[in-house]
Structure 1
Amino acid sequence: MTPTEQDIAFRRYFDASYPRVKAYLANVLDTNLHVDDIAQEVYIKLWNKWDTLDHSLNTDPYLFTIVRHTIISYFRSAKTRKTVVLRESSEEEHAQEESASERIQQKEYIQVYEQTLSNIQMDKQRCFRLHWDGGLTYRQIAEKEGISVKTVERYIREIKHILRSRLDVKTLYVILLIRLFT
């Protein structure tokens, strides 16, 4: 069976977007155990809607809406299984458009995040930003910075720990969403 144009277009989009989705999931989830499963679920949902999408428009916002909803479903099911204890973001926040006060609050969140990061050693900060903002894998960062993959893992783990200790989970989640969609 030869692939259709739709199959080829989806494969190209998958290849281009999968590293960013996986990096985003790794940052949101405390464990990497479910990252691949959730990413797979996201792309199955996207594939089921692929033929109804207008491909002349940017598909990324729709993709990350699916990611967000899948993460929320994951957190809900994890909470009911009592395997992960995380606060759920209210659906109301996700459904409403941002008001002026929400935008101000978002700026404050980002300001706290940036201030926290600015107090961290530059090489650690650079690795974290390459992973979080740039979507690079640990291996890619290690090659780019000339350090070991284990060092990159340690740097990112330390920064995540610092951020979690200074910012609550909900704030971190909001910052992640803001940075992804702006």
Structure 2
Amino acid sequence: MKITDDLITRTKKGERKAQFELYRECYGLMMKICLRYQKDNDSAKDLVNQAFLKICSNIDQFNGSAPFEQWMKRVTINMCIDEYRKNKTRNEVTDLQNFGEEFWSAKVTASNEGSQSMDAESLRSLIRSLPSVSQKVFNMAVLDGFPYNEVAKSIEISEATCRWHVHFARKTLQTMLKKSMNTLTTVLL
């Protein structure tokens, strides 16, 4: 990302061109973050736009004590968590109903060289097939590197429950990977 102090200053002044340039620079990273927390591209795009609006609205709070990218990531992750909390009850019921079907439908692809490998989209698909709470906890603790106590506080669960969800997610992903690799090996032979 090429985010300069000048770009941030112009964005703080409300210049539309600067806001658009900042959006272009941040979009890719913000989209990657939102895709980890959402099950589809449209929802992720909505969250990116909401997070960017919040960034522009609160850019005066950015004081430069930390890199802008770090501040932007935090705002984006917080938006994802807020969205999760808003839809928590509905998501849990839906996830439990669909978990078995999604668990067995996750696919692994072979690379061009014919070796067994997994592309990024397939891996994201496996993570998205986890139950909602396990997915959020895994994303925050493992992929985003937040400490368990902060993850637990954000999602409003105990730290022990947070650790259980990470363990469950890892074991479930391992099982799905083994099954997918076995299926791929059978197909290739």
- Taking structure 2 as the reference length, the TM-score comes to 0.48
Larger Rg: 2
**Taking CA–CA contacts closer than 8 Å with sequence separation of 6 or more, which of the two structures ends up with the larger relative contact order?**
1
